[in-house]
Amino acid sequence: MTVLGGIRTVTGHIGSQPTWDCEACGQPWPCPAFQAIPPDQLTTSTLIPAMALLVPSAIRDLRGRPEGPEPPEIVKRFLWFLPLNDDEARAIALRLR
Ligand SMILES: [Zn+2]
């Protein structure tokens, strides 16, 4: 099963490439409903490797679009549960893309 397929099965809320808007609610994913899933159902130790796999695809899809986010902004969006500053987000973006 793909990472996206696994997250879809668990949460019902998943970003749809290439826009990364949620299939279920149409919000930019990770959408508010996804972010509200309690940590006992979706733990940080599950999220970090999943997001590490998804962020490079999201950067490829989203950067360069008109008004599109920069890679560090994409990192912060997908790793919302980590307290990243701009320098850390930039460093992660460089590692992941
Ligand atoms: Zn959603």
Residue 21 C-alpha to ligand 1 middle, in angstroms? 8
Residue 28 C-alpha to ligand 1 middle, in angstroms? 8
Q: Which amino acid is at 20?
A: W
pLDDT tens digit at each of 97 positions of the chain: 688 888 888 899 999 999 999 999 999 999 999 999 998 888 899 899 999 999 999 999 998 788 889 999 999 999 999 999 999 999 999 998 7
3-state secondary structure 22-68: ECCCCCECCCHHHHCCCCCCCCHHHHHHHHHHHHHHHHHHHCCCCCC
Q: What is the tally of structural domains in the chain?
A: 1
Q: What is the pLDDT of residues 56-72, one digit of tens each?
A: 999 999 987 888 899 99
pTM of the model: 0.90
| CB half-sphere exposure, 83, CA atoms < 13 A | 0
Q: What is the largest CA-CA distance in the chain?
A: 38
Residue 4 C-alpha to ligand 1 middle, in angstroms? 13
Which residues span the domain enclosing 83? Answer: 3-96
